């Protein structure tokens, strides 16, 4: 596709349920990022993949959060035993590659708005 | 630790007037600096970036930003504002040595009145 695609756009879940959020990056983009954006705040880094390798997961807030990109394209962010504080917009971004001294801009999807009741 | 500050939650400008959205940063090394724009219920769109070279960077939609190393600032500017520029603007920074991780500011809501 032409841009980064995220699904679903909206997700409502009850506290304690597991959720899975999907990201389809721009075709050929090596790097993929997940961010969490709370209401009225800037995006906060969660994790980063280069192809299928998860190179940085320092931003994942707890072990309830898990991300994967098994074939180096589509990625899934899974949240287990959801809590109300998990309510946020989850943004996915991709870029061509990360090369020291280059830093290609990231292209963002429209996000998944997650509401935990 | 690196950080970004956007001191203004909101900036109001009349259409046709120049606009400035402020950003300051704090890093321990050489920074990469970015501006992104976000429209309601949409993801962020890249406007411009500074890596090295000229301190004045030109980007999309007529926006530009000036890197000032001594003041650790990267203010976003446009000579003549349009109503369609009304949106949420984010400044961001990453380090040369950790180019994957971008830290965003809290955002500035720009409102252009006709």
More confident residue, B41 or B95: B41
CB B113 within 8 A of CB B14: yes
| Both structure tokens of A69 | 């990109």
pLDDT tens readout for residues A52-108: 999 989 999 999 999 999 999 999 999 999 999 999 999 999 988 766 555 678 899
Question: Per this entry, what is the length of chain B?
Answer: 114
Cα B43–B106–A116 angle (5° rounding)? 60
Q: Hey, are the CB atoms on B102 and A45 less than 8 Å from each other?
A: yes
CB atoms within 10 A of CB A26: 18
Which residue, among A32, A43, A55, would best test binding to B if mutated, counting the most B CBs under 10 Å from its CB?
A43
| Both structure tokens of B44 | 């962020």
- Going by pLDDT thresholds of 50, 70 and 90, the confidence category of residue B2 is confident
CA distance B43 to chain A (A): 4
Among residues B96, B95, B78, the alpha carbon closest in space to that of B87 is found at B78
A25 close to B (CB below 8 A): no
Interface of A with B in 89-108 (CB under 8 A): 91, 93, 98-103, 105-108
Mean pLDDT on B73-101:
88
| Both structure tokens of B109 | 């809501």
Scanning every residue of chain B, which has its alpha carbon at the shortest distance from the alpha carbon of A30? B100
| Backbone phi, psi, residue B61, to 5° | 60, 25
CA distance B35 to chain A (A): 10
**How far apart are alpha carbons A92 and A35 in whole angstroms?**
6
**How far apart are alpha carbons B94 and B73 in whole angstroms?**
14
């Amino acid at each position: 596709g032409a841009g980064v695609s995220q699904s679903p756009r909206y997700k409502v879940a009850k506290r304690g349920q597991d959720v899975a959020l999907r990201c389809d990056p721009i075709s050929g983009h090596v790097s993929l990022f997940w961010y969490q954006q709370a209401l009225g705040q800037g995006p906060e880094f969660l994790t980063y993949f280069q192809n299928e390798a998860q190179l940085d997961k320092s931003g994942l807030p707890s072990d309830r959060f898990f991300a994967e990109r098994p074939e180096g394209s589509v990625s899934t962010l899974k949240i287990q035993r959801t809590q109300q504080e998990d309510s946020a917009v989850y943004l996915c971004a991709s870029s061509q590659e990360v090369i020291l001294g280059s830093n290609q801009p990231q292209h963002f999807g429209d996000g998944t708005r997650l509401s935990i009741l | 630790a690196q950080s970004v500050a956007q001191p203004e939650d909101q900036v109001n400008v009349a259409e046709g007037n120049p606009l400035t959205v402020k950003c300051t940063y704090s890093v321990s090394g050489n920074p990469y600096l970015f501006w992104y724009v976000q429209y309601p219920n949409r993801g962020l769109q890249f406007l411009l970036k500074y890596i090295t070279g000229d301190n004045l960077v030109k980007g999309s939609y007529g926006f530009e930003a000036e890197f000032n190393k001594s003041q650790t600032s990267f203010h976003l500017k446009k000579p003549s504002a349009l109503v369609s520029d009304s949106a949420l603007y984010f400044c961001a920074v990453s380090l040369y040595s950790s180019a994957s991780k971008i830290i965003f500011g809290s955002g500035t809501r720009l409102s252009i009145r006709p």
